[in-house]
Copies of this chain bind each other. A is one copy, B any other.
């Protein structure tokens, strides 16, 4: 900026005024400054400005997700980015890989970079440590999982209702022996989907068979193995509700290997882009990551605009995508 001022023959404050579009600069001077800035390929230093600027906004927000490579998280990310860009914001994203220590590390790293707000997928048992940041004026919105130990805005999928929809759908096709394949119990969404499964079974007056409930799955290979043992049971399930994407994939693989894909019904939580290309095509409970991300970002900017309203939890409903595997009838 110094150099631009010198080249244009004005004071640095005048350059600042031109760059920031402040009034009270003559047209001729402004033009000279703009030319000088262009000649020198000058780019203002946003962070140096923040240091002194009244609002002190870095126009950058921090996003903590399970992994930027996870398709669900990546779509949430994209939706957030879209809103952020409209506000002139950039997004610093960090992958936590479900590691509680990584959550702390990432918050520290982003905090030191002075992000204006956090969008966090909670991993730890307790997010109360984030209150400091909120109190200091860095708003926080949680996505996908609810925070513990702090009241804040939160945007989540309707996990319970989605799971109930899946189970109700299977029940409506005559199934009563419906297996549940769940992710690690320490993951909130896994617990909620299990809860939805149990609730709907109860609502349908179906007794729970513990042998049909397998928890703690986290990858497709394990899911495949589990499904094989389930089917080998003396009284095997006639339908399966797999509560996560990779588990669904592992389940399909097992069913195909055993040649049971056409006589055991399957509904998966989380949509598969290629679900319609399999035989049978896979019925799923689709989440809406785009909407989740957009709503979370909008809540965050509402805080940044100073008009937060009360902290509230927004539940984004799922959508049952009927394709075939979920409509295989149960025993007559």
Contact = CB atoms under 8 A, between A and B. Distances in A.
Interface of A: 41, 43-48, 50-51, 58, 60, 67-71, 74-75, 77-78, 81, 90-95, 108-114, 132, 249, 252-253, 256, 272-274, 276-279
Contact of A277 (B44, B60, B81, B249): B249
A249 B112 CA distance: 44
Given A44-B112, A68-B93, A274-B278, 10 more contacts: A43-B111, A43-B112, A46-B112, A46-B113, A47-B47, A77-B93, A78-B95, A93-B93, A277-B278, A279-B279
Given A277-B249, A279-B279, A69 B60 contact: no
A58 to B, nearest CB: 8
9 contacts: A47-B48, A47-B51, A48-B51, A58-B113, A60-B113, A67-B78, A68-B74, A68-B77, A68-B81
A202 B41 CA distance: 48
Contacts of A46: 112-114
A135 to B, nearest CB: 10
B94 A92 contact: no
Given A51-B48, A274-B278, A278-B278, A71 B68 contact: no
Contact of A274 (B43, B51, B249): B249
A101 to B, nearest CB: 12
Contacts of A91: 92-94
A43 B107 CA distance: 11
Give the interface centre of A69, A71, A77, A78 by most chain B CB atoms within 10 Å. Answer: A69
A109 B109 CA distance: 20
Give the interface centre of A44, A74, A109, A249 by most chain B CB atoms within 10 Å. Answer: A74
Contacts of A69: 71, 74-75, 77-78
A302 B252 CA distance: 44
Contacts of A278: 274, 277-279
A4 to B, nearest CB: 15
A60 B60 CA distance: 12
Contact of A252 (B41, B108, B109, B277): B277
Contacts of A81: 68, 93-95
A47 B78 contact: no
A128 to B, nearest CB: 13
A91 B50 CA distance: 20
A47 B249 contact: no
Nearest to A249: B274
B43 A108 contact: yes
Contacts of A90: 92, 94, 109-110, 113
Nearest to A293: B69
Nearest to A109: B90
Given A43-B108, A71-B74, A113-B46, A60 B92 contact: yes
Contacts of A78: 67-69, 95
Contacts of A58: 47, 113
A138 to B, nearest CB: 11
A114 B111 CA distance: 17
A112 B113 CA distance: 14
